[in-house]
């Protein structure tokens, strides 16, 4: 009896090489090229430059801890906050004591930074997003911090609130998503006012 494996192996290898080239090279290059043509800023990482130096990305949160800056959502990436290569949520459920302890510690830190602020802390200032890299906060979270930032910088509260309003983006196409404030853009506007 003659073994005819050679007749099966060759077409399988050819198909493997073709599909590898298609899905591993051609398709990614086509999608990347289309993204660069249609959304050049986002495809380039949303990098923000100031005086010829890259200071961050509008697409990935940054760790602002100085009271004179607005603080973003907590990062779930460990051990380094806002590490894009470790993107992911904490996976702690709402009844997990570790999540309750983390939220409590974050509320205490916000209260310590602004002891005169008795308003409710917006949830996005004490909980991480699903990616752990969210660059945006709600307008309520920005307004919650406005008095602290104005006091530390010696600015009128109205001026800080005007910067918040100027840096608030509405819903996409007027109905998708919620209004949001990019923390990096707001802090850069505050520093460069």
Residue 68 lies in a domain: yes
Question: Which pLDDT does position 193 carry in this prediction?
Answer: 61
* Integer Cα distance of 173 and 67 in angstroms: 34
Same domain, 65 and 89: yes
Nearest to 145 by CA among 119, 182, 178: 119
- Nearest-5° Cα angle at 101, 97 to 107: 145
Same domain, 95 and 27: no
Structurally, the chain folds into a number of domains equal to 2
Question: Which pLDDT does position 126 carry in this prediction?
Answer: 94
Same domain, 83 and 10: no
Q: Is the per-residue pLDDT at 54 higher than 60? A: yes
Please, which residues have CB within 8 angstroms of residue 99's CB and are 6 or more apart in sequence?
A: 90, 92, 93
Average pLDDT, the chain: 90
Range of the domain at 11: 6-40
Residue 173 lies in a domain: yes
Same domain, 62 and 124: yes
Same domain, 139 and 162: yes
* Half-sphere exposure in the Cβ direction for 152 (13 Å, CA): 16
Question: Which pLDDT does position 46 carry in this prediction?
Answer: 87
Same domain, 36 and 84: no
Question: Which pLDDT does position 128 carry in this prediction?
Answer: 87
Same domain, 171 and 98: yes
Tokens standing for residue 8: 């099966």
> What average pLDDT score do residues 44-71 get?
90
Same domain, 63 and 10: no
Nearest to 155 by CA among 79, 77, 78, 67: 67
* Integer Cα distance of 81 and 75 in angstroms: 5
Tokens standing for residue 121: 């802390």
Same domain, 101 and 36: no
Same domain, 50 and 131: yes
């Amino acid at each position: 009896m003659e073994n005819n494996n050679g007749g099966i192996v060759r077409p399988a290898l050819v198909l493997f090489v073709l599909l590898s080239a298609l899905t591993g090279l051609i398709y990614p290059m086509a999608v990347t090229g289309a993204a660069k043509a249609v959304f050049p800023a986002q495809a380039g990482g949303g990098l923000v430059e100031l005086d010829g130096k890259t200071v961050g990305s509008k697409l990935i949160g940054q760790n602002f801890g100085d009271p004179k800056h607005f603080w973003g959502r907590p990062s779930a990436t460990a051990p380094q906050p806002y590490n894009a290569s470790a993107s992911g949520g904490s996976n702690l459920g709402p009844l997990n004591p570790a999540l309750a302890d983390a939220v409590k510690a974050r509320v205490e830190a916000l209260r310590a930074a602004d002891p005169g602020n008795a308003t409710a802390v917006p949830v996005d200032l004490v909980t991480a997003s699903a990616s752990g890299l969210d660059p945006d906060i709600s307008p309520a979270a920005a307004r919650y911090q406005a008095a602290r930032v104005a006091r530390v910088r010696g600015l009128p509260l109205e001026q800080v609130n005007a910067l918040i309003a100027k840096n608030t983006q509405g819903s996409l196409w007027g109905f998708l998503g919620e209004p949001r404030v990019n923390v990096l853009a707001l802090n850069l506007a505050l520093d460069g006012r």
